[in-house]
Amino acid sequence: MKVLVINASANKERSTTLKLTKAFLEGLGEKADYITTIDMQIKPCRACYACWFKTKGKCVQKDDATMIIDKIQEADLVIWSIPLYAYGVPSHCKALMDRTVSLNSPMMYVDNNGIAHHHGYEEGTKKTVLISTAGLPNIKGNFDGLLFQMRHMYGNDITAICCAEGSLFMSPNTQDIVTPYIEKVKQAGQEYKENGRISNELQQYLDTLLLPTEAFVNTMNGIFDKLMS
Ligand SMILES: Cc1cc2nc3c(=O)[nH]c(=O)nc-3n(C[C@H](O)[C@H](O)[C@H](O)COP(=O)(O)O)c2cc1C
């Protein structure tokens, strides 16, 4: 299986999100091709719509996005490894997402829920996984913007692992808390390989906070207090 990982972390190889993505890949038993968006030259979309009306899906801008979009099209599975920035996608990755509009068509359809979409991105059939981490101890609401965007861009049935309290993965003192979560992400990769989805039980585990909110806030505030003084 051809797997493409789009690493949208400014922390590049040191990314917490990438750590989870690599665990998922281990469970999946697949190697991947990696794109690190912050290292790429990805110009913003110019909204010229040439890709829709003149060039049959090809963007007229010449930069790294051309090569990345080719890789997206060639991949059997695309894993978007996205840390949450300002409740959404980091800007360098958002520029790429905007440019993938070239994979869509202006032609619209209305789905069973009455929501209108453009045809495209292989009609939502491209296997897509979102793996995200965030700094705040909120599952509810925190990832809504990102999930909405990903589902509307790349298909309602994408698989998503959204892990709050990402800073716990950076400390050597929290291994007993994060190691079981990483193991479950590995299991998610295995389940995805076998069934093309994560079981409800495992999804529920992955959607649960690692530490209760108050405990996390108190621990982190203690650390931040020291860092600021
Ligand atoms: C510019 C910026 C914006 C952020 N915005 C949010 C946010 O809106 N909500 C949140 O919970 N965490 C936010 N964070 C924290 C990151 O999502 C978190 O530290 C994440 O685990 C980093 O993952 P990475 O190591 O893969 O880059 C933000 C971090 C940065 C640098």
Q: Does residue 190 contact residue 47 with C-beta atoms inside 8 Å?
A: no
Asked whether the beta carbons of 168 and 136 are under 8 A apart, the reply is no
Give residues (CB < 6 A) around ligand 1: 9, 11, 15-18, 83-87, 133-136, 142, 166-167
| Closest atom of ligand 1 relative to the 81 alpha carbon | 26
The span from the CA of 26 to the CA of 32, in Å, is: 10
Q: How far is the CA of 89 from the centre of ligand 1 (A)?
A: 10
Which tokens belong to 11?
A: 């922390």
pLDDT score for 120: 87
Any idea how long the chain is?
Answer: 229
Distance in angstroms (rounded) separating the CA atoms of residues 105 and 121:
9
Tell me, what's the pLDDT at 1? 94
Q: Do 1 and 76 meet the contact criterion of CB atoms below 8 Å apart?
A: yes
pLDDT mean values, one per 10 residues, the chain (229 residues): 98 98 98 98 98 96 97 97 98 98 94 89 89 96 96 92 95 92 98 97 97 94 93
Q: Among residues 46, 43, 47, which one has the least CA distance to residue 95?
A: 43
In this prediction the pTM is 0.97
Beta strands 104-110; 116-120: pairing state: antiparallel
Q: What is the pLDDT of residue 171?
A: 86
Q: For residue 75, report the distance from its CA to the centre of ligand 1, in Å.
A: 27
Question: Which of these, 72, 68, 73, 66, lies nearest to 51 by C-alpha position?
Answer: 66
Q: How far is the CA of 50 from the centre of ligand 1 (A)?
A: 34
- Give nearest CA residue, ligand 1 atom 15: 135
Residue nearest ligand 1's atom 4 by CA:
85
User: What's residue 182's pLDDT?
Assistant: 98
Q: Can you tell me the distance from the alpha carbon of 138 to that of 212, in angstroms, rounded to the nearest whole number?
A: 10
Which amino acid belongs to residue 202?
A: L
How much distance in Å is there from the Cα of 166 to the middle of ligand 1?
8
Q: Of 3.40.50.360, 2.60.40.1260, 1.10.10.10, 3.90.1150.10, which CATH number belongs to 3-228? A: 3.40.50.360
Closest CA to 143 of 100, 75, 85, 70: 85
